[in-house]
């Protein structure tokens, strides 16, 4: 069977929502980018957010940057699959492009927190596969946050405090990967995605395909 929407002899595959979550600095964004680069037919879900744009970010590629009134209007119109307040800002996943991708057999990657993951499960549990990325130690997590030089010391302290709460929800995820080495962690995440793609229940038409082969063998 081919990745994406392609199939054979009537067998197609419904896409899945592949979630990567972690405390800030544990590596989920890096792993997400690596996965999109290598996995055929995988697209990154682009979230809407009210937070300010960081240097180098592009509207429509990294996020849809909207103001609070626009975001609230989208919530009111039920245009999000999930949304949440994170560090005094709002984030949400637009519904329409994700649902279109799944129906076409394409997989969608989510870089969201545990609250967003729970919202996705409540809407489409059979389509969601979730992975939680852990740092190898608290010291390593703090070092990564300082090294990326994107936030003030005060913000970093807030993220470290938040990390403990985020880690407490690890048992809500299907898989756990400790990111001690980015290459090893990536291979683990990629293997999880591939295994989930091959699950019998995601292969639409597989029963008819097998029945047809059995009929041919019985002649």
Summarised one tens digit per residue, pLDDT across range 40-97 is 889 999 999 999 999 999 998 889 999 999 999 999 999 999 998 877 899 999 998 8
143 domain-assigned: yes
The answer to whether residue 201 is domain-embedded is: yes
User: CATH no. for residue 122?
Assistant: 3.40.50.300
| Any domain includes 80 | no
In tens, the pLDDT along 160-214 reads 877 878 888 999 999 999 999 999 999 999 999 999 999 988 888 888 899 999 9
Counting the structural domains of the chain, the total is 1
Question: What is the DSSP code string of 68-122?
Answer: HHHHHHHHHTT-EEEEEEETTEEEEEEHHHHHHHHHTT-EEEEE--HHHHHHHHH
Domain assignment of residue 32, yes or no: yes
Q: Annotation-wise, does 100 bind a ligand?
A: no
Tell whether 27 is in a known binding site.
yes
Residue 131: give the domain boundaries: 12-44+105-218
195 labeled binding residue: no
Establish whether 28 is an annotated binding residue. Answer: yes
Q: Is 55 annotated as a binding residue?
A: no
Residue 130 in domain: yes
Residue 29 annotated as lining a ligand binding site: yes
């Amino acid at each position: 069977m081919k990745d994406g929407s392609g199939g054979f002899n009537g067998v197609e595959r419904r896409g899945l929502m592949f979630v990567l979550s972690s405390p800030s600095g544990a590596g989920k964004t890096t792993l997400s980018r690596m996965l999109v680069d290598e996995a055929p037919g995988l697209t990154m879900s682009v979230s809407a957010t009210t937070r300010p744009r960081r240097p180098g970010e592009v509207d429509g590629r990294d996020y849809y940057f909207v103001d609070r009134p626009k975001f609230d209007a989208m919530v009111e119109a039920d245009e999000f699959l999930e949304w949440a307040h994170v560090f005094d800002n709002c984030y949400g996943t637009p519904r329409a492009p994700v649902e279109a991708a799944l129906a076409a057999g394409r997989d969608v990657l989510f870089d969201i927190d545990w609250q967003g993951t729970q919202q996705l499960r409540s809407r489409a549990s059979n389509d969601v596969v979730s992975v939680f990325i852990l740092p190898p130690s608290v010291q390593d997590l703090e070092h990564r946050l300082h090294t990326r030089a994107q936030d003030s010391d005060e913000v970093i302290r807030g993220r470290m405090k938040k990390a403990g709460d985020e880690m407490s929800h690890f048992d809500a995820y299907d898989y756990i990967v400790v990111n001690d080495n980015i290459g090893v962690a990536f291979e683990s995440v990629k293997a999880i995605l591939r295994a989930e793609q091959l699950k019998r229940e995601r292969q639409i038409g597989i029963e008819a395909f097998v029945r047809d082969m059995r009929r041919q063998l019985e002649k």
